[in-house]
Structure 1
């Protein structure tokens, strides 16, 4: 399980490393492009079963911590879904992982590079 640390504060958001890796790719690429957007998630039942949101912008300090050391294979279809959510009025929300139906001819966005500099087309080799 991984965590996101926002402006020095550990968020009450625990997600598996695979999902956090996909969120990291989307968030970092959005911020690199100087985008500002909201990121929302459902709180754990132990903490009231509500929901939380943060405003992400290029000047905020973010730290992604992962429970494991292996970088998972990247699902470009999931990246596309998450990117579409981030650019919508509702903002980024972690959605369930869809089947990867992407092809080599997909958009430049879906061909994002995974953390560590491994192209997404070869990321499956690390699993």
Structure 2
């Protein structure tokens, strides 16, 4: 299970495969000096123990080139990214609702 840590807020827990794709999209937008919101609803979980019976988490953060982000992974990152998923995440990030982890296209 990977983590996205935003400033001093609790870590947002995201599976490694999804986080790899989010990182690629986030870093591309930051390189282009594009600010955007990142939103989550139910998944990913925020902070705490993954096995706990905590209620679903919801939240939103504003990401800009001045944001302090740290990406942490539990597993290897050696497989090629899904180009279709990257394109879909980029499209969503540029929309009015901001970036969120949408399901991976098959």
Counting only pairs closer than 5 Å after superposition, residues 7-18 of structure 1 correspond to structure 2 as: 7-11=7-11, 13-18=12-17
Aligned match of 1:85: 92
Q: Bigger radius of gyration, 1 or 2?
A: 1
Q: TM-score, normalised by structure 1?
A: 0.70
| Unmatched runs of 5 consecutive residues or more in structure 1 | 100-127
Does 2:64 correspond to 1:65? no
Cα distance in 1, alignment partners of residues 79 and 100 from structure 2: 20
| Counterpart secondary structure, 1:91 | coil
Instruction: Describe the superposition over 1:34-62 as per-residue Cα deviations: whole angstroms up to 9, x where unpaired.
Output: 00100001244944324100000001110
User: Relative contact order: is structure 1 or structure 2 higher (C-alpha 8 Å, sep ≥ 6)?
Assistant: 2
Cα distance in 2, alignment partners of residues 10 and 71 from structure 1: 27
Aligned length: 98
What is the aligned-residue RMSD (CA, Å)? Answer: 1.6
